[in-house]
Structures are given as structure tokens and as C-alpha cells.
Amino acid sequence: MASTYEPIATTTLGSAASSITFSSISSAYTDLRIVLTAAGSASEQVYIQFNGDTGTNYSQTYLQGNGGTAESLRQTSVAYIFAGYMADSAYGSSMRGLTTINIFSYAGSTNKTTLSEGNNDTNGQGLVSRHVGLWRNTSAITSVKLYPSTGNFTTGTTATLYGILKA
């Protein structure tokens, strides 16, 4: 039986890096999923871009809570999808946040929708969030760049890309 949920690639940083990119992504799957455990040197926000597109072709709506306040927020015509939260390394080198990103029908001919979650708790700080994102481009996704809103991913940050097959 063909595997339905296949690991495509994985990256674990041996040193700090400004981004992690998965490129040359096969069009053979139906959906993509990325699991990122990360810490940032200067920020907690994880951004993504597709196919090297740095234009203001992205938007998102998200729901988040920080332990004291619940918010629903929106960004339109920006240069990234805000996918979720990670730990800020200022709270300890062993801290990690978890961001998972689902990209539906990534090889199809319609605009691309993402559903992602951010999970960051550093015992007194942090946020939990759910995001829906849109890339206004009908091309198949062949590369995904993940990066912090500012600064670098720290050493030990791990990202794994999975392909999901519908048949």
C-alpha cells in the first residue's frame, strides 16, 4: 500500500540560521504539513513565504490568547503568512515552541490556503494561536521558506516536511 503520510525532508540546525527552506517539492502529494519546533533569538513569530514570493500577496486571520487576553486579528496584503509562535530563547536555551502548518492542495491551480497553529509556553509567558492564511497565487508550491519575524532560529531548531496523499 502506498504511504499516505510521508516525510519529505527534515532540517535540524547545527548553528543559528535566519531561515529554513524546503525546495524542489514534488507535486506528487495532495497536501503538505510542516512540524516546526523552534526558538528565536529575537522574536516569537514564525513567518512563511512560498516560491520565493516576497510581494504583498499574503493575508491572514488568527485567534490568539496570551493567558490574559483573547484576540482575533487580521492582516491583509502583507509579504508573509504569519504561521504561529515559537519560544523566545531569552527564556532559556532549552525552550522550544511548536508550530504546525497545513497547506491544502498545494499543487492545485487555485489560490493556496494554510491552516496553522502556534504553541508557545515558557512558564509564565507565551501564546497559543490558530491561523488561516492565504497566498494569492495559483501556481503549484515548489518551495516553502520559514523564518522568524526578526533575528534567527536558534541551534537545535527542527523542521520536518510531510506529504499527505488522498489516494
Partner 1 sequence: MASTYTLIASNVLSSTAATVTFSSIPSTYTDLVLRYSARDNSASNQNNIGFTFNNNTGSTTYSYNYLLGTSTTTNVARSPAGGDTRMLGAFYDGNNATANTFGSGEIYIPNYTGTTKKPVSVFGVSENNTTTNFSAVIGIVAELADITSAVSSIELFPNNTASFVSGSSFYLYGISKS
60 contributes a contact to partner 1 by CB under 8 A: no
- CB atoms near residue 123 (< 10 Å): 8
160 contributes a contact to partner 1 by CB under 8 A: yes
For the chain, the farthest-separated pair of C-alpha atoms sits apart, in whole angstroms, at 48
67 contributes a contact to partner 1 by CB under 8 A: yes
Which of 103, 119, 141, 146 is the binder for partner 1 (CB under 8 A)? 119
DSSP string computed for 111-160:
-EEEEEEEEEE-SS-EEEEEEEEEE---SPP--EEEEESSS-BPTT-EEE
Residue 72, burial from CB neighbour count under 10 angstroms (0-12, 13-18, 19+): exposed
Instruction: Give the nearest distance from C-beta 39 to partner 1 in angstroms.
Output: 9
17 contributes a contact to partner 1 by CB under 8 A: no
Rounded distance between C-alpha atoms, residue 64 and residue 42, angstroms: 20
Instruction: Give the nearest distance from C-beta 128 to partner 1 in angstroms.
Output: 4
13 contributes a contact to partner 1 by CB under 8 A: no
Q: Applying CB under 8 A, which residues contact partner 1? A: 3-7, 10, 35, 37, 63-70, 85, 87, 92, 94-98, 100, 117-124, 126-130, 156, 158, 160, 162
